[in-house]
């Protein structure tokens, strides 16, 4: 690949560019053994891809939406793989006719519409110093682009960037619920544009499948509407009803929802195909309505065990699984694939199925497991002769059932090249290493990164910058792609910027160099204090190496449910020095898990990074990307400070210091209120849009109440509860959103502190059952409430952040007096 020349007035950031882009110089090998295994599918997809004119029109539509004022500055072209050395690539060149007035300045060519837009993004990043992220995380930064007619020129020979491997995967099976649940076409169109700009060509496409299932089960298997009402989950819980974890929870689904979502799916698929993407459609996993066992009494249908229900309530617990070896399995699997083909008119031949995700097979005999895998694939292949099974590899990470013999039996049950595995959590727990490259089966190296859409600054940038390259370059590699498999989006944009770039990198990225340039691109100018801050964030927040899942359990958003006398800890200070772990371990009696905040960095260094961010505020206050990052960083520092305040409350209680409990608990509640004020300063941290987008999809008042209940429940109690026992999944979907802190998290904490103070004042033990009863009632009331929350930000992000830094973080010991 040719390196770009430096602009005449090149800032230091562009000097770093040469080092960053040297990583994409062609590597010694342009493919892997795994790519060879899926070569037939790749050939089919190339033949069936949308015509070049259609892809160009779709790419130009995305350009017009992204840069309407620069639309005429670029020309796009679709080229063959032969023009890319037989690989998939994009090419950036100076337009040959630019000397003439009114002619485009830059020509971007690509094998598909996705490559064209990825090439556009590459040019904007590395020649114009621009930045693209989700709107909620700051959106588009193009202030650094030169004026019209003065776009930077590339080297005369042009720039060619090849994909080392063919696929760039996107989404998790639960992203559809944690992030996409309430999206309309306008939001989906924006996301598909974002996908293409990031080079994503293999996205999940799960929207609307309930309407397909309705037609299959009603027309071919005599399942009634009422039985399907019990089968499907509510709008915010469809991901888990699809996986067979629950049924009926949050439902029933109105017919208008089913019709609306199917219509939306057709628009989504059409745009994806137009851009040259390969949407991954769902396949039958064995999850069936309860009524099927009555209609087919001889079928091998098993009722599964309880999945996190408090009382194993049959209204939504314990779903039914059809054994894959039963002949009915293939019949249903074929009917589902065929119905999708009838509705959509085409397919990319890749289907996702996760029969064993949190559903362990009843027998560990390898021969039986092999028969299950073969039957699952037969259900797909009988509906599409060219079908390929895409399977999440999460089960191999967490379930000890999957020892090497069982894992091999499943992976080898399907012809080689007909199964692709997502190494779902490869940035932390790569399975490709311990499984000898999935025992010869093609796989995609994925970054999981986020759970439940929680808001937490976190990442493993060094692993992201090196892990895919190590996997790709390893001996006998079966890697066929990279992917982003987060449970929720619209957070930590730096992580996704780097990860998406790895689809085009053939050598490890120097993160220090890359992040220096990132901070300049993100804000549109180079500010020394901001650069220094990002260097700190790189080796602290974004350098988590402890191997733990980053499930946000900060006290504010995941309040401990425990008798304060039973909370044990060995470190109670603010930990301004060193790298501590929070030691307020609280045992969940039901799950056996500890609700313990994750700490992997020195908080004093992060507070220093915040100081440096504030120091750059005079130059960057007008930047939306800066405002988002400033609010997020301030929130991160204050959240960890809140954890310490809570521990002080508990320490005071255990010393029977009533004054200390009153003093520190009020400080905690004041902090929650202040953080709500901070979060209100940016649209990326508001509760209102989540609730309003849910209500906007409703057709009547009854649906509006149902959809809002779904939206409120997912981010609080999540699943069922009893009068005295909260959901086992409470706070799993927690969010740092303005409105949620002030209206729910704060009152919940105040309730707990009330019981602490009563215990000391009246001389009795902490009344845990009474606390739980009132907490559950508070939560259930909140789930059913209808109060409104702002959908637009209010307040000044910089001034609010500076105020809170001065109040809480400049000298925490002074604040404690």
pLDDT digits (tens, 9 = 90+) for 639-691: 999 999 999 999 999 999 999 999 999 999 999 999 999 999 999 999 999 99
- Calculate mean pLDDT across residues 511-521: 97
User: Are 606 and 541 within 8 A, CB to CB?
Assistant: yes
Angstrom distance (rounded) from CA 287 to CA 336:
12
Write the CB contacts of 416 (distance below 8 Å, at least 6 apart in sequence): 37, 440, 441
- pTM for the structure as a whole: 0.94
User: Are 718 and 309 within 8 A, CB to CB?
Assistant: no
- What rounded mean pLDDT belongs to the chain? 92
Which helix (H) or strand (E) segment is 261 a member of?
helix 255-274
Query: Cis peptide leading into 252, omega within 30 of 0?
Result: yes
Residue 132, token pair as written in the block: 């693209």
What pLDDT score does 23 carry? Answer: 38
pLDDT grade, residue 147 (50/70/90)?
A: confident
Write the CB contacts of 66 (distance below 8 Å, at least 6 apart in sequence): 132, 140, 193, 197
pLDDT of residue 28 exceeding 60: no
pLDDT grade, residue 816 (50/70/90)?
A: low
User: Are 569 and 583 within 8 A, CB to CB?
Assistant: yes
Residue 315, token pair as written in the block: 């209204």
Place of tokens 């027998």: 363
Dihedral of alpha carbons 427, 432, 438, 440, sign: positive
What pLDDT score does 725 carry? Answer: 95
pLDDT grade, residue 581 (50/70/90)?
A: very low
pLDDT of residue 320 exceeding 90: yes
Angstrom distance (rounded) from CA 391 to CA 409:
14
pLDDT grade, residue 225 (50/70/90)?
A: very high
What pLDDT score does 759 carry? Answer: 98
Among 18-32, 83-97, 803-817, top mean pLDDT goes to: 83-97
Query: Strand (E) positions, 615-688?
Result: none
In this predicted model, which residue has the larger pLDDT, 571 or 107? 107
pLDDT digits (tens, 9 = 90+) for 586-641: 434 333 334 678 889 999 999 999 999 999 999 999 999 999 999 999 999 999 99
What pLDDT score does 569 carry? Answer: 62
pLDDT of residue 1 exceeding 80: no
Q: What is the b/e burial string over 192-222, where b = at least 16 CB atoms within 10 angstroms of the residue's CB?
A: bbbbbbbbbbbbbbbbbbbbbbbbbbeeebe
Termini Cα distance of the chain: 61
Radius of gyration of the chain (CA): 27
User: Are 738 and 685 within 8 A, CB to CB?
Assistant: yes
Supply the DSSP symbol for 487: S
pLDDT of residue 5 exceeding 80: no
Pairing of strands 301-303, 320-322: antiparallel
pLDDT grade, residue 579 (50/70/90)?
A: very low
Beta bridge partners of 280: 204
Pick from 353, 363, 416, 423: nearest CA to 393: 423
pLDDT grade, residue 45 (50/70/90)?
A: very high
Supply the DSSP symbol for 280: B
Percent of all residues in the chain with a pLDDT value above 70, rounded to a whole number: 92
DSSP 714-730: HTTT-S---SS---TTT
Q: What does the longest C-alpha to C-alpha distance in the chain come to?
A: 88
In this predicted model, which residue has the larger pLDDT, 99 or 174? 174
pLDDT grade, residue 358 (50/70/90)?
A: confident
How many other β-carbons are positioned within 10 Å of the β-carbon of residue 589? 9
pLDDT grade, residue 815 (50/70/90)?
A: low
pLDDT grade, residue 18 (50/70/90)?
A: very low
User: Are 188 and 279 within 8 A, CB to CB?
Assistant: no
pLDDT digits (tens, 9 = 90+) for 268-294: 999 999 999 999 999 999 999 999 999
Residue 799, token pair as written in the block: 């001034």
What pLDDT score does 561 carry? Answer: 92
pLDDT of residue 188 exceeding 90: yes
Pick from 562, 730, 724: nearest CA to 647: 562
What pLDDT score does 595 carry? Answer: 61
pLDDT of residue 728 exceeding 60: yes
What pLDDT score does 74 carry? Answer: 96
Pick from 5, 9, 35, 7: nearest CA to 21: 5
Write the CB contacts of 425 (distance below 8 Å, at least 6 apart in sequence): 394, 397, 446, 448, 485
In this predicted model, which residue has the larger pLDDT, 575 or 358? 358
């Amino acid at each position: 690949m040719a390196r770009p020349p430096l602009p005449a007035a090149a800032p230091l950031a562009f000097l770093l560019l040469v080092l960053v882009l040297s990583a994409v110089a062609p590597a010694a090998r342009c493919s892997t053994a795994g790519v060879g295994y899926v070569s037939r599918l790749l050939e089919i997809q190339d033949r069936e891809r949308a015509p070049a004119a259609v892809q160009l029109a779709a790419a130009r539509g995305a350009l017009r939406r992204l840069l309407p004022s620069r639309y005429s500055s670029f020309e796009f072209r679709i080229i063959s793989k032969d023009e890319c050395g037989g690989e998939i690539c994009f090419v950036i060149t100076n337009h040959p006719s630019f000397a003439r007035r009114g002619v485009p300045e830059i020509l971007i060519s690509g094998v598909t519409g996705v490559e064209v837009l990825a090439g556009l993004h590459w040019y904007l990043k590395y020649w114009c110093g621009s930045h693209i992220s989700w709107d909620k995380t700051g959106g588009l930064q193009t202030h650094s682009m030169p004026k019209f007619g003065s776009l930077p020129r590339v080297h005369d020979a042009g720039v060619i960037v090849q994909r080392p491997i063919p696929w760039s995967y996107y989404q998790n099976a639960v992203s559809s619920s944690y992030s996409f649940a309430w999206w309309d076409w306008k939001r989906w169109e924006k996301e598909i544009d974002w996908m293409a700009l990031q080079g994503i060509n293999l996205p999940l496409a799960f929207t609307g499948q309930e309407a397909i299932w309705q037609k299959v089960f009603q027309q071919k298997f005599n399942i009634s509407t009422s039985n399907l009402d019990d089968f499907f989950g509510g709008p915010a819980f469809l991901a888990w009803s699809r996986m067979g974890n629950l049924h009926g929870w949050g439902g029933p689904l109105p017919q208008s929802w089913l019709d609306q979502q199917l219509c939306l799916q057709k628009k989504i698929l059409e745009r994806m195909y137009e851009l040259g993407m390969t949407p991954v459609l769902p396949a039958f996993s064995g999850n069936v309505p309860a009524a099927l066992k009555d209609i087919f009494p001889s079928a091998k249908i098993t009722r599964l065990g309880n999945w996190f229900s408090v009382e194993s309530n049959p209204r939504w617990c314990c779903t039914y699984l059809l054994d894959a070896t039963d002949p009915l399995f293939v019949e249903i699997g074929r009917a589902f694939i065929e119905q999708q083909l009838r509705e959509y008119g085409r397919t990319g031949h890749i289907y996702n199925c996760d029969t064993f995700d949190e559903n362990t097979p009843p027998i560990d005999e390898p021969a039986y497991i092999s028969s299950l895998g073969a039957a699952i694939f037969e259900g797909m292949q009988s509906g599409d002769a060219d079908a390929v099974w895409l399977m999440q590899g999460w089960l191999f990470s967490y379930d000890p059932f999957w020892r090497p013999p069982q894992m091999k039996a499943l992976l080898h049950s399907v012809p080689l090249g007909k199964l692709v595995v997502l190494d779902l959590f490869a940035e932390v727990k790569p399975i490709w290493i311990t499984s000898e490259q999935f025992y010869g089966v093609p796989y995609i190296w994925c970054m999981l990164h986020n759970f439940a859409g929680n808001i937490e600054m976190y990442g493993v940038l060094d692993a992201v910058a090196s892990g895919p390259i190590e996997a790709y370059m390893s001996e006998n590699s079966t890697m066929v792609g990279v992917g982003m498999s987060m449970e929720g989006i619209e957070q930590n944009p730096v992580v996704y910027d780097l990860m998406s770039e790895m689809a085009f990198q053939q050598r490890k990225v120097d993160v220090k160099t890359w992040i220096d340039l990132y901070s300049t691109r993100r804000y549109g100018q180079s500010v020394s204090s901001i650069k220094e801050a990002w260097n700190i964030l790189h080796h602290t927040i974004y350098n988590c190496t402890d191997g733990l899942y980053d499930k946000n359990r900060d006290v504010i958003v995941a309040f401990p449910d425990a008798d304060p006398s039973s909370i044990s800890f060995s470190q109670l200070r603010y930990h301004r020095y060193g790298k501590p772990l929070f030691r307020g371990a609280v045992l969940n009696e039901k799950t056996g898990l500890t609700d313990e905040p994750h700490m992997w960095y020195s908080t004093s260094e992060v507070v220093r990074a915040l100081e440096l961010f504030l120091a750059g505020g005079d130059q960057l206050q007008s930047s939306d990307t800066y405002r988002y990052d400033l609010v997020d960083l301030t929130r991160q520092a204050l959240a960890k400070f809140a954890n310490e305040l809570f521990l002080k409350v508990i320490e005071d209680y255990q010393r029977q210091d009533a004054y200390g409990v009153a003093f520190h608990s009020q400080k905690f509640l004041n902090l929650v209120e202040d953080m709500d004020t901070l979060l209100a300063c940016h649209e990326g941290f508001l509760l209102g849009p989540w609730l309003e987008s849910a209500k906007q999809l409703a057709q009547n008042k009854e649906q509006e109440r149902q959809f809002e209940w779904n939206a409120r429940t997912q981010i609080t109690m999540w699943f069922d509860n009893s009068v005295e026992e909260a959901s086992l999944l409470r706070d799993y979907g927690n969010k740092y959103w303005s409105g949620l802190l002030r209206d729910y998290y704060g009152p919940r904490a105040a309730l707990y502190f009330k019981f602490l103070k009563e215990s000391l004042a009246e001389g009795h033990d902490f009344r845990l059952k009474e606390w739980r009863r009132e907490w559950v009632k508070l939560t259930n009331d909140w789930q059913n409430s209808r109060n409104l929350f702002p959908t637009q930000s209010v307040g000044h992000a910089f001034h609010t952040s500076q105020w809170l830094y001065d109040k809480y973080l400049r000298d925490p010991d002074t604040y404690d007096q």
